[in-house]
């Protein structure tokens, strides 16, 4: 039985599941991680394609069921536990293919990004709106701090949309499959990563404000900083590219005593 309190919505359509596996680009040389396998429909397809599959399931009922089903399979490991606390560094190089529970989508993506040294890609089924925000470009209403944060570490692309009716129980919104190929080094060089993300968060905190007004409480000399960086102070955060945010970060760091 699906447990709504765990945010689980299950896919059973084999054609959609097959498209997810195809979008992931996994091969028989890959170690693949799946979070929240539930009934194990996607798990079975991953086992057919990958060299090794690790499936992390927090629900003890599903974990026991899958351990029993796959106990004779040497290439799959079912782990009962919390994906937010799993030691991913123990996996070596790996890819993620997963239908992520809605309620932990953002924290789980950032947990994965912390393990980017060994992570090659993630192909995730998530809420359509979140996928669109992650992949959004500047000058788009969906573009925000989440877009910049994920695109700093990887190249996202929305592969296809899955209508809500394909899930059981039926969620309130449609989903999307997004693939994020992890970069071996960040997309830009901000000079100071902590400062860069402080600027990004501050800029998007009140989207309707101009950069000068949104950042002046954090950086009193922001008008001069923006001028030196060649960025007009009356622009709003959603118009800036990742490189322009990095330019602001480098300029502030350079001006620091």
Checking phi first, is residue 107 left (phi over 0); if not, alpha (psi -120 to 50) or beta? Answer: alpha
Domain boundary (182, 213, 242) is at 182
Based on the fold, state whether residues 20 and 130 are members of the same structural domain. Answer: yes
Query: Which CATH number is 228's domain given?
Result: 1.10.8.100
Based on the fold, state whether residues 207 and 176 are members of the same structural domain. Answer: no
- Distance in angstroms (rounded) separating the CA atoms of residues 14 and 23: 14
Q: What percent of the chain has pLDDT over 70?
A: 97
| Ordered alpha helix ranges (H), 156-237 | 193-205, 211-215, 222-229
With residue 48 as reference, give the H or E element that holds it: helix 41-49
- Distance in angstroms (rounded) separating the CA atoms of residues 2 and 228: 56
How confident is the model at residue 228, as a pLDDT? 96
Based on the fold, state whether residues 153 and 43 are members of the same structural domain. Answer: yes
Tens digit of each residue's pLDDT (9 = 90 or more) over 29-58: 999 999 999 999 999 999 999 999 999 999
- Are 203 and 211 spatial neighbours (Cβ–Cβ below 8 Å)? yes
Tens digit of each residue's pLDDT (9 = 90 or more) over 148-173: 999 999 999 999 999 999 999 999 99
Structural domain range at position 246: 193-255
Residue 44 domain-assigned (yes or no): yes
Q: Is the peptide bond before 169 cis (omega within 30 degrees of 0)?
A: yes
Domain boundary (132, 152, 182) is at 182
Q: What mean pLDDT is predicted for residues 132-158?
A: 97
Residue 220 domain-assigned (yes or no): yes
Q: Domain count of the chain? A: 2
- Are 129 and 223 spatial neighbours (Cβ–Cβ below 8 Å)? no
Based on the fold, state whether residues 88 and 144 are members of the same structural domain. Answer: yes
| Ordered alpha helix ranges (H), 59-190 | 60-69, 105-114, 128-135, 145-153
Residue 4 domain-assigned (yes or no): no
Q: Model confidence at 218, in pLDDT bands (50, 70, 90)?
A: very high
Based on the fold, state whether residues 41 and 150 are members of the same structural domain. Answer: yes
Residue 103 domain-assigned (yes or no): yes
- Distance in angstroms (rounded) separating the CA atoms of residues 59 and 83: 11
- Distance in angstroms (rounded) separating the CA atoms of residues 233 and 167: 46
Based on the fold, state whether residues 40 and 75 are members of the same structural domain. Answer: yes
Question: How many alpha carbons fall within 13 Å on the CB side of residue 220?
Answer: 1
- Distance in angstroms (rounded) separating the CA atoms of residues 48 and 27: 9
Based on the fold, state whether residues 58 and 168 are members of the same structural domain. Answer: yes
Domain boundary (182, 213, 228) is at 182
């Amino acid at each position: 039985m699906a447990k709504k309190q765990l945010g689980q919505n299950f896919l059973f359509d084999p054609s959609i599941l097959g498209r997810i596996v195809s979008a992931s680009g996994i091969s028989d040389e890959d170690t693949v991680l799946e979070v929240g396998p539930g009934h194990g429909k996607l798990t079975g397809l991953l086992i057919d394609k990958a060299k090794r599959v690790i499936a992390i399931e927090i629900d003890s009922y599903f974990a026991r069921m899958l351990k029993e089903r796959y106990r004779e399979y040497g290439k799959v490991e079912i782990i009962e536990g919390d994906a937010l606390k799993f030691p991913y560094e123990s996996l070596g190089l790996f890819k993620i293919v997963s239908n992520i529970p809605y309620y932990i989508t953002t924290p789980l993506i950032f947990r994965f990004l912390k393990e980017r040294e060994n992570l090659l890609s993630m192909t995730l089924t998530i809420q359509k709106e979140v996928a669109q925000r992650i992949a959004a470009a500047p000058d788009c209403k969906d573009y925000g701090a989440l877009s910049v944060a994920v695109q700093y570490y990887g190249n996202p692309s929305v592969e296809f949309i899955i209508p809500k009716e394909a899930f059981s129980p039926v969620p309130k919104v449609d989903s999307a499959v997004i693939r994020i190929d992890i970069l071996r080094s960040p997309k830009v060089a901000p000079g100071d990563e902590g400062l860069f993300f402080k600027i990004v968060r501050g800029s998007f905190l009140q989207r309707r404000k101009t950069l000068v007004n949104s950042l002046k409480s954090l950086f009193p000399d922001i008008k001069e900083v923006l001028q030196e960086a060649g960025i007009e102070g009356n622009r709003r955060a959603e118009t800036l590219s990742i490189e322009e945010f990095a330019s602001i970060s480098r300029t502030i760091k350079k001006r620091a005593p």
